[in-house]
Chains A and B, each alone.
Chain A
Amino acid sequence: MLEGKFEESSLMKKVVDAIKDSVKLCNFNCTEHGVTVQAVDDSRVLLISLLIGEASFEEYRCDRNITLGIDLESFNKIIKNGNSSDFLTLIAEDSPDNVLIIFEDKKKDRVSEYSLKLMDLDSDFLQIDDMEFDATITMPSSEFAKITRDLKTLSESLQIIVTKENVKFSSDGDFGTGNVVLKGFVDMDKPDESIKIDMARPINLTFGAKYIADIVKGTSLSESVTIKLADKSPALFEYKLPSGFLRFYLAPKFDE
């Protein structure tokens, strides 16, 4: 049996918001360590890897591994019904047909209970070994979201170029070009505002802007985002959770 209670429903709301536009159906795999999701978008360009660690929950128990096949659009309709500050509890039996979603306000004078039908979903699990990256950038997630939205208005591709001194986000479209250059700096008072650039080798990669626009829907999960890049390889975009992470692996574009 699974019983997971969040101190606030806001974490789950943000997680669903962050992934529902990339994938529609996915398995939530529940183990004693927490909840994981691995899913690939329909165009098979973006891979999502989510870990909601046991410590993200106020109370958590999962005696046996349980898979919840969830339609995120339906789940989102239910999850939006809770107030962000409500307790959120997910309950499922072993081999469940549905999952119970319970919201309680903190005064306990209102309890809302929903049941979501589960689906039997096929899913290929991809083995993601520890990848070697040539460059790692950590920056404020909101700044990365703005850069993405701004440059996406010019082109459907977004280029990321990392040199020793800086990182350049660049787009080249029909009516013009644009780029944003960031240098590394340390903000002692607000560490989350810092920009950290670690580069072993220079990087020049191009990605589909629409996929990065989907990735930045994770912005509300974390003050900062870490971007890891390697030549001719998928990029990793990571938003840290209180215990766990939301990672997006994005396949690059190549010269034909």
Chain B
Amino acid sequence: NLKQSNITNFFAKS
């Protein structure tokens, strides 16, 4: 089973 990852986990808030 595949789980959808979250885009905000890949980029830091600035």
Contacts and interface: CB of A to CB of B under 8 A. Distances in A.
Interface stretch (A66-74, A83-91, A119-127): A119-127
B4 A208 contact: yes
Interface in B1-14: 1-14
Main secondary structure of the interface of B (DSSP, over half): mixed
Q: How large is the interface on A (under 10, 10 to 19, 20 to 34, 35 or more residues)?
A: 20 to 34
A251 B3 contact: no
A253 B13 contact: no
Interface stretch (A13-21, A39-47, A191-199): A39-47
A128 B10 CA distance: 9
Contact of B2 (A46, A206, A250): A206
B8 to A, nearest CB: 5
A126 B11 contact: yes
Interface string A167-199: 000000000000000000000000000000000
19 contacts: A40-B8, A46-B7, A47-B7, A124-B8, A125-B13, A126-B11, A126-B12, A157-B2, A206-B2, A208-B4, A234-B7, A234-B10, A251-B4, A253-B5, A254-B3, A254-B5, A255-B2, A256-B1, A256-B2
Interface of A: 40, 43-47, 124-128, 157, 206, 208, 233-234, 249-256
Interface of B: 1-14
